[in-house]
Amino acid sequence: MDRVVVFGATSAIAAEVAALYAERGDALHLVGRNGDKLEALAARLESARPQTTQADLDDLAANERLVWRVIEQLGGADVVFIAHGYLGDQLTSEHNLSEAEQIIRTNFTSPVSLLIPIANHFSDTKNGRIGVITSVAAERGRPRNYTYGASKAGLNTYLQGVRSRLHASGTSVTTIKLGPVDTPMTIDHPKNPFFAKPAGVAREIVAALDAKRAEVFVPKRWSVIMPVVKNTPEVLFQRLPFLSGR
């Protein structure tokens, strides 16, 4: 039985990941901002008797204490999954620093504030698995979402460093480069065949954590698509509206 901590547990994807661990009989501690959603998720997973903590993960000063308290209440941690994020409004972020800062805070600074104590915990215990959701948007700056993409790109780089730091301790760090998923977070986005469903995405995430993968595109098809997008010469990229358009 693993002891699993899920940050951002009330997101559609994280809830499905938590459900998979619950089906295994793992011990869960779910952390989320919305108390009603957290209560509903705990009721859904009632057979696993999950512990819950309501917390605003953008409260950076409180996150170190939060991590240690959650781990202590669970009696330790074997798996930690960080799933929260904020798409934000790209156009607003181009004219309003507060929106740009909020995107960066939620997608980069907040995960880092959690990862510092999490990494210290696993450095001491010499074992564990960390999984963090980033985004395919981090692979290339595109006009439609480059503030969000930049925040996730910074997180990718940070995770590379944490992964190398913890390698000798036997702790795996999995960067989950997520493509678009049909969730409440993307409710205002026009859907196309590239949008995945939360349940399928969750299965791929748990499989990647089990296998201790370093980096993984989810769904897998993005591992073929994104290298092309990333490596297209900029002079050509800017002439292709389906890549560089809004």
- Smallest Cα–Cα separation from 81: which of 187, 206, 239? 206
Q: 189 falls in which pLDDT band (50, 70, 90)?
A: low
What CATH number does residue 90 fall under?
3.40.50.720
Tell me how many domains the chain contains: 1
Domain coverage including residue 16: 3-244
Lowest mean pLDDT among 30-34, 104-108, 159-163, 226-230: 226-230
- Smallest Cα–Cα separation from 131: which of 70, 67, 211? 211
pLDDT of residue 191: 64
Q: 14 falls in which pLDDT band (50, 70, 90)?
A: very high
* Residues 120, 48: Cα–Cα separation, whole Å: 28
pLDDT of residue 192: 66
pTM: 0.93
Q: 244 falls in which pLDDT band (50, 70, 90)?
A: confident
